[in-house]
Amino acid sequence: MEVIIQPTADAAALLVARLIAKHLRAKPSLVLGLATGRTMERVYEYLTEMHRREKLDFSLCRTFNLDEYVGLPPNDPHSYRYYMDRHLFSRVNIDRRNTHLPNGAARDLAAECRHYEELIRDCGGIDLQLLGIGADGHIGFNEPLSALRSRTREKALTPATIRQNAPLFGGKISAVPRRALTMGVGTILEARRILMLVTGAEKATILAKAVEGPMTAMVTATALQLHPDCKVIVDEAAAKRLRGKAYYRWIFKNEPEWQEFRAAPSIRRARSRRSR
Ligand code: F6R
C-alpha cells in the first residue's frame, strides 16, 4: 500500500483522475471499477474535463460500479445508476452498454449478485478499482463484520451509513434505503489495482484505522493492506491522524513512479450541474 498526501481535496481528486486517465490511455478497453458518493464527484468532473479538453477516450472502456441500493430502479434520482449517468456517463463518450451496476430492483437479488460476479469474470476481471471510505470504514457497502472474503451480495446498511448518506436524500433519514447490493471485500481485492480517495477532516480517524491499524472485519477497508497494488490518495485534512506522514511525503517526492505527477497541470474541473 502507498499513501500519497496532497495539499487539498481538489488536488487529491485531480491526482486520482490523472492516474485513471493514464491507465485508460495505456489500455483503452480498461475494465474500471467505479464508486459513487460525494468524494468521487470531483474525480468525475476532472475526467469529464479531460475528455473535453484532452480527448480522453472512454469509447472502449468497460465499467463496474461497487454497489446499488435495493429497491431503487435505475431511473430513480437517488439510485447509483442515476448518479453515474449524471456525473460521468452522460458527459463522456462511453458506450452505455459497457457500463454495469448491480440491479437493486431485480426480483431475485441473490441471482442478480451471482450474475454480477459472472459479468466481471467474463470481462477478464477489474483492472483498476476506485474506492472511497465510509464513516464506519466500509468499502463498497461492506459494513463492519463483512467477511474479508465476501462476494457480491445483499447487505443491510448500518445506522452510521444511513446517517452519512441522508444528505443525498434531502436530509431525510427515513428515505435512505436500508439495504444495498455490493461487491464483496473478496471481489474488490481481486482487482489488479486499487485507488482509494479519502478527503476531509471527518475521515481522518477512520483513515488512520484503515491504513495503519490492525486488520479487522470491523473496518473492512483494513483488508486493503493485503492488496499488492493499492494506492491511497488523501488530502492534508484526512491525513491529520496518520503516524507515517513524513514517510508518505518522502515517497511522493522521491519515488520515480510519481515524477510525472509532481508538477501540477493547469486543468480545471468542469463544474457539476448541481453546483452551477
Ligand atoms: C459508494 C461506496 C461507498 C462510498 C463511501 C464514501 O459507491 O461504495 O463506499 O465510497 O461511503 O462516501 P462519500 O464519498 O459520500 O463520503
Per-10-residue mean pLDDT for the chain, 276 residues long? 98 98 98 98 98 98 98 95 98 98 98 98 98 97 98 97 93 96 98 98 98 98 98 98 98 96 78 49
Per the rule left: phi > 0, alpha: psi between -120 and 50, beta: everything else, 219 is beta
Q: Is 36 in the pocket of ligand 1 (CB under 6 A)?
A: yes
The whole-number pLDDT of residue 267 equals 74
- Ligand 1 center–CA 256 separation, angstroms: 31
Instruction: Quote the pLDDT of residue 272.
Output: 55
Return phi, psi of residue 88, to 5°.
-140, -60
Find the 40 Cα to ligand 1 centroid distance in Å. Answer: 8
Q: Identify the pLDDT of residue 265.
A: 74
Burial of 48 (0-12, 13-18, 19+ CB in 10 A): buried
Q: What is the pTM for the complete model shown?
A: 0.96
Q: Which structural domains are found in the chain, ordered by start? A: 2-275 (3.40.50.1360)
- How is residue 235 written as a grid cell? 488530502
